[in-house]
Amino acid sequence: MKNAIPNESQIQTFVDAGSRSLRHHTFVSDKLNKHRGKHPSSELLLLGAGHDAGTSPDTETGVHFRLNQTGNIFYATTSPELQKDTRDLFNSVTVLFAAMTKALADKKKTLFDYAAWTSLISKSGYFIEVQKFEQNMVIESSSLTIDTQVVQQLLPGITSGNSMEIAKSVLSAINGTYSSKAANDESKSGHILFICEELFGAPSVTVRLFFASKKSHEKITASPCHKTTSTTIEQVQQADTFLFVSPDTIAQFAGRFGEHPESYTKLIEKLSGLIT
């Protein structure tokens, strides 16, 4: 994959990325994990298999994964057919990402420009930062290539097939960005990933902007990603995590903030006075 901005068909085309049992899957969305936590695991398995509580399911519920061709939109769903509200929410993500890539292209920026993504996210009004994500990746000396191990740690649902090749091509493009003579040791590259999740009709969209400097990524980029390594490599993967607020939600509730009661205005002034 080249650093060029992808065309719309790549953004809207998704490939199968495999599945795993619900019992062993943890959703990225805190909301969905809390929703899942309100029900016993056995009950969720029964519901997902289409059985009433108290009966024995024939099969265990699975979470199915899909990835678009640019490697920027990831689906994790428990239902083969999405409800209309869920489908509309996920479609709005696709449209927004398409608009973002066009904006980057108009400014002669690549998909891996961390500064450009940070500016887009902070100024768009569609994202709320909820977490600083940090994960220590360990690349083992084994028969698996470096890029395969990285993808499996960042996206556990992807194990093989076309989706793995898409994710590996993204890593290869990032590796090429770091190898550029124009990049100094402190230059940051980023990769944005919209994580669209659905748990039995309850949807949620979380966005992660992964980033690293050329210096922090040097152990991985020292060897070609498609090669295996003879030594163990450790690297801290960092990302900003955001909650996506859909346009429909904004349209529904934004008008309520148009007028503030006088007492509320005074409360804001009092709180502002406490900030130094």
Packing angle, helices 114-124 and 84-106, rounded to 10? 130
Q: Which tokens in the block code for residue 121? A: 């996210």
- What's the number of domains the chain is made of? 1
What pLDDT is stored for residue 38 in this prediction? 67
pLDDT band for position 50 (50/70/90)? low
Residue 108 in domain:
yes
Place of tokens 């994964």: 65
Range among 57-61, 115-119, 259-263 with highest mean pLDDT value: 115-119
pLDDT digits (tens, 9 = 90+) for 220-236: 766 667 677 777 878 78
pLDDT band for position 182 (50/70/90)? low
Place of tokens 């230059």: 187
The sign of the dihedral angle between the CA atoms of 98, 68, 157, 60 is positive
Q: Please tell me the distance from the alpha carbon of residue 76 to that of residue 53, in angstroms, as a whole number.
A: 24
Residue 238 in domain:
yes
Average pLDDT across the chain, whole number? 82
Residue 268 in domain:
no
What pLDDT is stored for residue 158 in this prediction? 84
| Mean pLDDT across 252-265 | 80
Residue 178 in domain:
yes
Q: Which amino acid is at 31?
A: K
Q: Please tell me the distance from the alpha carbon of residue 79 to that of residue 244, in angstroms, as a whole number.
A: 21
The contacts of residue 231 (CB under 8 Å, 6+ apart) are: 141
Place of tokens 């690549």: 110
83 has a pLDDT exceeding 60: yes
Residue 134 in domain:
yes
Residue 133 in domain:
yes
Range of the domain at 109: 8-247
Cβ atoms of 158 and 208 closer than 8 Å: no
Residue 79 in domain:
yes
45 has a pLDDT exceeding 80: no
Residue 261 in domain:
no
Q: Which of 29-33, 87-91, 226-230 has the lowest mean pLDDT?
A: 226-230
Angle, CA 31 vertex, CA 29 and CA 36 arms, to 5°:
100
